[in-house]
Structure 1
Amino acid sequence: MDLKLEAIVIPVSDVDRAKKFYEEALGFRVDVDRRSGDNYRIVQLTPPGSECSIQIGTGITQVTPGTYQGTYLITSDIEATRAELVGRGVEVSEPYHFGPQGQTPGIDPERASYNSFMSFSDPDGNGWLIQEVKQRAPGR
């Protein structure tokens, strides 16, 4: 069996504001923007380099906007990604990693995959993490 994660629904309060943020600030590609009457609209956006998309809209979820926390994006260069996002006006945290004392400021000194992170929120407060993965674990 071969299963792929295609899309994740992100709850938002203002579809146009969220679409602008994901498209312009984060550089996501708009795949779909469809309406059906006044109570249904779906916008599908895909992060650069990803096969999995997000969906935002009206009438697609009953989840409260701003309640999703910890959705991951992966990058191979956390410093370059942070610089680009800051240049686009995204309020992104400083990088941090996990060491013997727990969460520690700065990039992992060994630049080990899966150990450096930064975070940001969309306009509704949905929280995202960006994790640096330079080399995937075997079998991934």
Structure 2
Amino acid sequence: MKFSVEVMTVPVRDVDRALRFYVDQVGFALDVDYSPNESFRVVQLTPPGSSCSIQIGKGITDAPVGSLRGAYLVVTDLETAHRHLLGRGVQVSDIRHKMPIGAWDGGFAPGLDPARGDYASFADFVDPDGNSWVLQERGYRAA
């Protein structure tokens, strides 16, 4: 048996504003924008390189607007992703890493993990509706 997470619903108030944010600023690809009537619209977006998409829309969830918390976007180069998002107008937190290294107890220190270890460096951003995302570095390889 195989289980696969393929779509997450992100509750938003203004579908068009959210669509512009995720496509124009964050860089997700638009897969589907379907609205057969006034009470239903589904917009599916996929982060570059991901096999899991998000859906925003009207009539697709009863979750409170902005209630998604801490969804992870895993990137291979957090420093580059951070710079890219800032350049596109996304307000991204400063980068931080787990501390102490090797015996993490829930604390953080500023900047990238010195060894660029998997799952050790993070940054955050919030969409216009208050849904929060965590950027996490995994698979970094120095060029």
Query: What TM bracket, shorter-length normalisation?
Result: over 0.9
Displacement after TM superposition at 1:98 (Å):
1.1
Match of 1:82 in 2: 82
Displacement after TM superposition at 1:44 (Å):
0.1
d(CA) in 2 for partners of 1:105, 1:126: 23
Q: For residue 86 of structure 1, what is the amino acid of its counterpart?
A: L
Match of 1:124 in 2: 129
TM-score, length of structure 1 as denominator length: 0.93
Match of 1:94 in 2: 94
Match of 1:111 in 2: 116
Q: Let me know the Cα RMSD of the aligned residues.
A: 1.1
Displacement after TM superposition at 1:110 (Å):
1.4
Q: Is the deviation greater in 2-11 or in 25-34?
A: 2-11
TM-score, length of structure 2 as denominator length: 0.91
Unaligned runs of 5+ in 1: 136-140
Equivalences, count:
135
Unaligned runs of 5+ in 2: none
d(CA) in 2 for partners of 1:58, 1:81: 30
Ranges of 4+ aligned residues in structure 1 off by more than 3 Å: none
d(CA) in 2 for partners of 1:99, 1:112: 12
Superposition map of 1:1-140 within 5 A: 1-100=1-100, 102-134=107-139
Match of 1:138 in 2: none
